[in-house]
Structure 1
Amino acid sequence: MHQPKALQRIIDTYFREPSRSVSVKAGTQVLKQDGYNDKLYWVKKGKLSGYLNKENSELTARVFRVEQGMFFGVHSFFSRTFMASTTVIAETDSELAWIDLNTEATESEIYGSFSEQFMPVMVHELAQRQMITGIQALEKEKALQKLYAAEQMTTLGQLAAGIAHELNNAVGVLSSKTEGLQSAICHFLAESKPEVSPFIDLGICTGQSSTSAEARKRAKELQEKYGLERDQARQLARAQPKGDIPDFWLENLDEALQYWDMGRDLHDMRLASKHAASIVRSVKQLGGTDHARQPDIDINDTIHKSLSLLQSNLRRVNVVLRPAVLPTITASTTELVQVWVNIIKNACDAMEDTPEPQIEIITRHSKNRLLITISNNGPMIDEATRRKVFQPNFTTKKGGLQFGLGLGLSIVLRIVHSYGGTIALKSDPEKTKFRIKLPIA
């Protein structure tokens, strides 16, 4: 260990005498708290720890640690109390050198009295103790923060479990009643108006598969080609997003669109009830409940489900999907959907004031990993915020309805880590990008 010159002189002058040197085995008690001590020790080799025992209690805490080149016994020796303030025990086999009350000052005419010469030792020891105290204070604060966060998460998890239970009952009713209503309507129409069954069946089976932008473009083409009214063309574009329009649609277009629209509503109701049930289950993630993981889960499929959940948030956002053909993995669809929903929803919120908002989602696989990149062209996230976004209870959503609990990305991080994966965030003025890596096996 490198020492300042003054301190090195003290060591070379006073702690090289073979007669004032001793070897101790690991576990040896060198000093006992409140016991007599008239020596100043210097550690030639090894490691020792000082322990403080609370009076009339079994509580014991390690308050310092010394190793090669460090001193102990400073307080009792220089204060002349000759009473050890801690119990010092060797952690490893160690070699110690010491001075005692009989040790005389050398070269006092040059370096001053004994106390003056040993001032560097006292300063050095004080600095070491202050550093140790500071580190302990930081560790204590870190432990307290973890404890507070754990307590908050536990409370929130209990609330989430209760809410999930109540919502699950309501969603279950909606789901079963939607299925029953669909069956009853289809049965009734098949008997009373069989000619409209193709329209309602198409709505039920496919719903609206085109985006709003695609539907607007298609409506203009249909309006010109078939001489339709504007509202008719828009609705027909949603029902028939591609190809020529079959003649039986045009025979009574208003009725055809009416029943297709009814079928689409039933389709959306059924899909929404399934999504709601999935979200209710994912809420339990707040409480740390494990989700059953199934084999043969397609990452691309979970991303599509996330986009379906976020249709209202994505109305003005251009979503660019660049999926690759991926191997399937063993995973929980609910957990993965929750990951994508949180990241994409945050991106939508961030791009609220972006003129032409865009989200790009790329999936790839390399060797034994899946790579998922979700980027947006919203404002840059500054470095200070980037360091905190994955921490529990941190949120930038403060005003109006854009409030947040600061749990979304912390849950994302927890889920990704539970798969043995990693997540990284990069941001510059042009793009903010989340990059997730998941092991295939």
Structure 2
Amino acid sequence: MHQPKALQRIVDVYFRDPARTTAVKAGTHVLSQDGYNDKLYWVKKGELSGYLNTDDDSEMTAKVFRVEQGMFFGVHSFFAQTLMASTTVIAEKDSELAWIDLETQPVEPETYGSLSEQFMPVMVHELARRQMLTGLQAIEKEKALQQLYAAEQMTTLGQLAAGIAHELNNAVGVLSSKTEGLQNGICRILDESKPHVSPFLDLGICTGQSATSAEVRQRAKQLQQDMGLGRDQARQLARALPEGEVPDFWLKNVDEALQYWDMGRDLHDMRLAAKHATSIVRSVKQLGGTDTARQPDVDVNDTIHKSLSLLQSNLRRVDVVLRPAILPPITASTTELVQVWVNIIKNACDAMEETEHPQIEIITRYSKNRLLITISNNGPMIDEATRRKVFQPNFTTKKGGLSFGLGLGLSIVQRIVHSYGGTIALKSDPEKTKFRIKLPIA
């Protein structure tokens, strides 16, 4: 280790005597807090740590410094001449120590002064080093507090979400059951009073509108040309019958047929929306809950579907390609797995805000007693420096907004995956950014 000249002279003059050198094994208590000490130690080899015990009955111990090759300890008790160690110093590794004591005489005092004057560089050096250590510990403490505050904030939000989801679940349940009852009642009345319109209603209930807006426009133009229908009639008929020939019984009274198909389509959409809302509410309750107990027979594909339900608003402009394989069940917490997929997919959505045709591809596979889950997106490439940091706590590239930018998401993802004995890796190139997660079956 490189030393300033003044320090190097002190080492060479005072700490090269084999008679004042000793070897200590790892775990040895070299100094005990409040114990007698009349020596100044220099670490010739190894590593030691200083621990401070509290004065109360809590018996708490804090690591306050670490010394390694080329460093000193015992400075305070030796030069302040308290002769009482302020900390307990323990060898972390097998070490070799050299020392001077109160009997040591100054060398060349006429040139370099008294012993205290000669060792002034040691005291200044140690003071600066301790101040730096204190500053670093303060920074780490502040980081820990920020993580604690962020975790508390997210826990509170989760609890609020779970409470709101519970209330919404009751309302959605009423809507779902009433829609079912309304549909049955309308079908029964029409079967008795106007049975000839039942096929139109039934078609709307069973299939709803399957054609896209572009397909409807194209089909409507063709119907206007072939059948001479008005623009509104042609569009509505294109929604009801997006392909094939139009049966004659539809044309006997087009307006009535479309009226009852439209009614059936609305009932279909109401039931579908109620079912979708129920799924989202269930996922929110699960994600906001604190029950992370691991249960057998968890379907990983099902947890991915739950995550996609939670992120519907984020995925509106994203093409989601899901390629699931038949997977064996695993013992896991559905809440934890949903949290993993939500964090990764949400990050992908945020990254693709300026991508022209955003796409997320999710592939699940089973191989060699492991589940392989790959989540990729076609957003911008993540540079190597960022890739090395994405799993670190408090690292974020988000600058604000509803994403919070706490830098905890992928750190939590990694912690959860590792807790299952799994691995997570990130690869990124100009064409695709890919997260690859491996989860063992057992």
Q: TM-score, normalised by structure 1?
A: 0.77
Residue in 1 that maps onto 2:174: 173
- Do 2:204 and 2:261's aligned partners in 1 also have CA atoms closer than 8 Å? yes
RMSD (Å), alpha carbons = 4.3
Q: Deviations over 1:76-122 (max 9, x none)?
A: 22334433322323344443211122222334566565445434423
2:47 counterpart residue number: 47
SS in 2 for 1:88: strand
For residues 133 and 26 of structure 1, the distance between their equivalents in structure 2, rounded to whole angstroms, comes to 25
Identity of aligned residues (%): 58
> Mind listing any 5+ residue stretches in structure 2 that lack a counterpart?
381-385
Q: Secondary structure at the match of 2:12?
A: helix
Within 2, Cα distance between the matches of 1:228 and 1:55?
A: 93
User: Shift of the alpha carbon at 1:73?
Assistant: 0.9
Report the counterpart of residue 305 of structure 2 in structure 1. 302
State the partner residue of 2:8. Answer: 8
Residue in 1 aligned with 2:228?
227
8 Å CA contact retained: 2:250, 2:257: yes
Gaps of 5+ in 1: 378-382, 399-403
Q: Distance in 1 between matches of 2:172 and 2:115?
A: 83
| TM-aligned CA deviation for residue 372 of structure 1 | 2.6
Aligned length: 420
Partner of 2:31: 31
Shift of 1:3: 3.8
Once the two structures are overlaid, the 10-residue window that deviates more, 153-162 or 168-177, is 153-162
Distance change >3 Å, CA 421–CA 106, structure 1 → 2:
closer
Offset of 1:338 from its aligned partner?
5.2
User: Secondary structure at 2:261's aligned position in 1?
Assistant: helix
| Partner SS, residue 66 of structure 2 | strand
Q: Are the structure 2 counterparts of residues 69 and 396 from structure 1 closer, same or farther at C-alpha, using a change threshold of 3 Å?
A: closer
CA contact (8 A) 1:37 1:73 kept: yes
TM-score, length basis structure 2: 0.77
Cα deviations by residue, 1:216-235 (Å, 9 ceiling, x for unpaired): 23322222222222222222
Q: Which shifted more, 53-62 or 413-422? A: 413-422
Contact 1:342 1:412 in 2 (8 A): no
Q: Where in structure 2 are the equivalents of 1:377-388 lying within 5 Å?
A: none
Aligned amino acid, residue 9 of structure 1: R
Return the letter of the residue paired with 1:360.
Q
Question: Following the alignment from structure 1 to structure 2, what is the Cα–Cα distance between the partners of residues 425 and 365?
Answer: 17
Q: For 1:269 and 1:346, how far apart are their aligned partners in 2?
A: 30
Q: Which residue of 1 aligns with 2:404?
A: 406
Structure 1, 284-293 or 244-253: larger mean CA deviation: 284-293
2:138 match: 137
Aligned residue runs from structure 1 range 261-410, under 5 A: 261-284=262-285, 285-290=287-292, 298=301, 302=305, 306=309, 309-310=312-313, 314=316, 317=317, 320=319, 322=321, 324=323, 326-328=325-327, 330=329, 335=338, 342=346, 346=350, 350=353, 357-364=356-363, 369-375=372-378, 398=401, 404=402, 406=404
Shift of 1:176: 1.4
In the alignment, the residues of structure 2 paired with residue 205 and residue 3 of structure 1 have an alpha-carbon distance, to the nearest angstrom, of: 84
Q: Secondary structure at the match of 1:214?
A: helix
Deviates more, 1:167-176 or 1:107-116: 107-116
Assess if the C-alpha contact under 8 Å between 2:306 and 2:338 holds in 1.
Answer: no
Three-state SS of the structure 2 residue aligned to 1:362 is strand
